[in-house]
Structure 1
Amino acid sequence: MKKSSSILLLSAAGILLVLSFLLNLSLGSVSISPGEILSGIFTGDWTKASREQIILNYRFPKALVAILAGIGLSISGLQMQTFFRNPLAGPFVLGISSGAGLGVAILMLAGSAFGLSTFGGAINPWAIAIAGTLGASLVLLTVSLAAWKVKDSMTLLIVGLMFGSAVSAVISVLSYFSGAEALKLFTIWSMGSLGGLVWDQVWVLGLVISIGIIPVIASVKSYNGMLLGESYAKSMGINPDRLRWLMILSTGLLAGSITAFCGPIAFIGIAVPHLARMVWKTSDHRILFPATALIGASLLLLCDAVGQLPGSAQTLPINAVTSLVGAPIVISLVLRKNFSKEF
């Protein structure tokens, strides 16, 4: 695709992101027009004080979290698919998300499972985020040690999947022995949620994701070389070992922090990179990374808007909505005859 066409499509994706952002802010149990939202944000003129509270203290931070999570998961998925040359690789193949889940499971379920304490209700959101971060960091450290020992990318992929399976088994054991109230709380967390974060948590999440994107920007040309395999990449002067470390660090920060703060969010990391390839018809990561980020943010905003059930106080788990949207996309990709030619 010509450079001018790519820039035009990126501009269109940027406009789609802005429209999705306004739509997300508008819909909910109380519908608020985009005009009133823009007027209130830029001039402070709200028709009702309650609407100011709804937008600034609930919908606005939730929409920002959707943008951050969409960008982080999509970029992580593109990295995994390119590095492992596997079209169905996602941001969670290294087991880092499972590690975050283990940290939260220990916090919520361990006391109930082993009779160490009686479950006492809601847990501070900061405690959940810290537990998820510690769990993701532990698995990230373990995967890093494996990467130091294992030099082959496909072997590292298998090791990551095995780590994820082992951690999931531990979570299953804790779930089996835990009480009903603790299990329900963990189940709700595992469905994913973009709401409930205070502004301080949004800023922390934004900072971590910004740091996680830095290795991507620094090594974007190396990802283009990896499309033809490690041997070809070496012949072009690319260091696959260095790229492996950057990839693990970036994915760990992006997927780990998002899972810690929002819970696991399915299909965005797998489906969005393929959507970007289909629309832009290119394998150049200088185009694919920003394209994937824009589509991922827009898609998660739209999924969250659908999950709001406009006009109703009920909300659907974000995981349910993303799975309903993402599963058909992945299935259609698998059925495409030229699916394997993208890698």
Structure 2
Amino acid sequence: MHSKTSIRWAVLLMLLVVLFLLNLSLGSVQIPVGEIFKILTGKPASDPVWAEIIWDFRMTKAITCILGGSALALGGLQMQTLFRNPLAGPDVLGLSSGASLMVSLVFMSNAAGVTLFVIQSPWTVAIAASIGCSLVFIIMLAISQRLQDNVSLLIVGLMVGAGTASIVSVLQYLSKAEELQVYVLWTFGSLGGLDWNEIRVLSVILIAGAAISFFNIKSLNAWLLGNNYAQSLGVDLQRSRFYAILSASILTGGVTAFCGPIAFVGLAVPHLVKLLIQSHNHKVLIPAVLIGGAALLLGCDILAQLPGSINVLPINAITALIGAPVVIWVILRNKVVRS
């Protein structure tokens, strides 16, 4: 049994390394694999431009995939555990919808007759998305103090998301074509627009969210068997739920702020990892989904680049192609979606 577990972990880690190197090797400029290894080991490349392409463009995108995929996967795992619902994702509390609403105000506030943000830059978008996520988080936190039932909290989160989405739809209807286009492009998701400073911020966000989840491992394991069992083990339900929501909010909000709303990664990865690792212990699952999320988003980015073509597809289109079959498989496997 121990040897099988070791083999599974080795496969997961090897998959991550292979996809990372493959991601670095793809792009509009053909760079030999040998040159990539020379650049990564600090040796001078045959063409100095290649080193610049690797470090300033491809490396930042690959690390963004690792950080973003890990964060979304961990957020999804916690939400599926908290709500005991296999179809719960990291954005189930309406966090991504809150971010989308604030970003829509950045690009389309003129449709409402006001100008909220005079300067539009990547940092403006990131700050606006963070504010939107934070506001929804505060609302959901206040509601969670009044609700003892997680299913009710889930329904409220879905309704908050629907409400914010309706406001965005009104702004889209009233906005000009060029404003609408910029916003729609943001909703496709992007992994290649971050610089090293933004990656440092995203790294801190992932570390903070992961630290909270590791601190909450005992409660997450107890949640799997229901409220009564968790309470009998001495778990403070309100406090453990707060930590789970806080961690998922930090992780989802950070990725949405810098990369846009990337769907299905947080929903699909926990199921795929459980299928490989065959464990429900969060002490094992948390590091596994961190690796699995990074590997999946690297793989999606590779497919989005259409190897052999100069065209690049929206990352959300690829994650949906991967995630949708997983959702169908989960429903068919469980026969019914249990709450």
- 1:4 to partner: Cα distance: 4.4
Paired residues for 1:4-23 under 5 Å: 4-23=3-22
- Aligned sequence identity (%): 45
Question: Where does residue 88 of structure 2 map in the other structure?
Answer: 89
Query: Which letter maps to 1:100?
Result: A
Stretch of structure 1 that moved more, 45-54 or 330-339? 330-339
Question: Where does residue 193 of structure 2 map in the other structure?
Answer: 196
1:254 and 2:287 correspond: no
Question: Which of these residues, 260, 265, 270, is aligned with residue 263 of structure 1?
Answer: 260
1:321 and 2:318 correspond: yes
- 1:326 to partner: Cα distance: 1.2
Question: Which of these residues, 229, 253, 263, is aligned with residue 232 of structure 1?
Answer: 229
SS at match of 1:202: helix
Separation in 1, partners of 2:51, 2:336: 47
Query: Which letter maps to 1:247?
Result: A
- 1:276 to partner: Cα distance: 1.1
Separation in 2, partners of 1:153, 1:336: 23
Query: Which letter maps to 1:261?
Result: F
SS at match of 1:192: coil
SS at match of 2:214: helix
Question: Where does residue 72 of structure 1 map in the other structure?
Answer: 71
Alpha-carbon distance change, 119 to 92 in structure 1, aligned in 2, over 3 angstroms: closer
Question: Where does residue 112 of structure 2 map in the other structure?
Answer: 114
Separation in 2, partners of 1:219, 1:292: 16
Separation in 2, partners of 1:203, 1:40: 21
1:32 and 2:18 correspond: no
Separation in 2, partners of 1:34, 1:91: 36
Separation in 2, partners of 1:115, 1:86: 41
Alpha-carbon distance change, 338 to 292 in structure 1, aligned in 2, over 3 angstroms: farther
Question: Which of these residues, 157, 160, 164, is aligned with residue 157 of structure 2?
Answer: 160
- 1:31 to partner: Cα distance: 2.9
- 1:50 to partner: Cα distance: 2.0
Query: Which letter maps to 2:34?
Result: G
SS at match of 1:29: coil
- 1:198 to partner: Cα distance: 1.2
Question: Where does residue 172 of structure 1 map in the other structure?
Answer: 169
Question: Where does residue 285 of structure 1 map in the other structure?
Answer: 282
Separation in 2, partners of 1:16, 1:175: 41
1:183 and 2:185 correspond: no
TM-score by length of 2: 0.95
Separation in 1, partners of 2:218, 2:2: 17
Question: Where does residue 127 of structure 1 map in the other structure?
Answer: 124
- 1:339 to partner: Cα distance: 7.2
Alpha-carbon distance change, 72 to 118 in structure 1, aligned in 2, over 3 angstroms: closer
Separation in 2, partners of 1:30, 1:315: 14
- 1:118 to partner: Cα distance: 12
Alpha-carbon distance change, 328 to 28 in structure 1, aligned in 2, over 3 angstroms: same
Separation in 1, partners of 2:247, 2:273: 20
Separation in 2, partners of 1:140, 1:42: 43
SS at match of 1:149: coil
TM-score by length of 1: 0.94
Query: Which letter maps to 1:29?
Result: S
Separation in 1, partners of 2:336, 2:30: 41
Contact kept in structure 1, 2:105 and 2:116, CA below 8 Å: no
Aligned pairs, number: 339
Structure 1 spans left out of the alignment, 5+ residues: none
Contact kept in structure 2, 1:307 and 1:321, CA below 8 Å: yes
Separation in 1, partners of 2:235, 2:34: 50
Contact kept in structure 1, 2:86 and 2:330, CA below 8 Å: no
Alpha-carbon distance change, 101 to 64 in structure 1, aligned in 2, over 3 angstroms: same
Stretch of structure 1 that moved more, 185-194 or 287-296? 287-296
Query: Which letter maps to 2:7?
Result: L
- 1:266 to partner: Cα distance: 1.1
Separation in 2, partners of 1:72, 1:224: 19
Separation in 2, partners of 1:245, 1:7: 34
Stretch of structure 1 that moved more, 314-323 or 50-59? 50-59
Alpha-carbon distance change, 21 to 158 in structure 1, aligned in 2, over 3 angstroms: same
SS at match of 2:41: helix
Separation in 2, partners of 1:27, 1:201: 23
Stretch of structure 1 that moved more, 61-70 or 286-295? 286-295
Separation in 2, partners of 1:311, 1:237: 57
1:244-271 Cα offsets, whole Å, 9 max, x none, are 1001110110001101110111111111
Separation in 2, partners of 1:32, 1:235: 59
- 1:46 to partner: Cα distance: 1.2
Stretch of structure 1 that moved more, 50-59 or 224-233? 50-59
Alpha-carbon distance change, 151 to 135 in structure 1, aligned in 2, over 3 angstroms: same
1:312 and 2:296 correspond: no
Question: Which of these residues, 231, 240, 244, is aligned with residue 241 of structure 2?
Answer: 244
Separation in 1, partners of 2:33, 2:21: 6
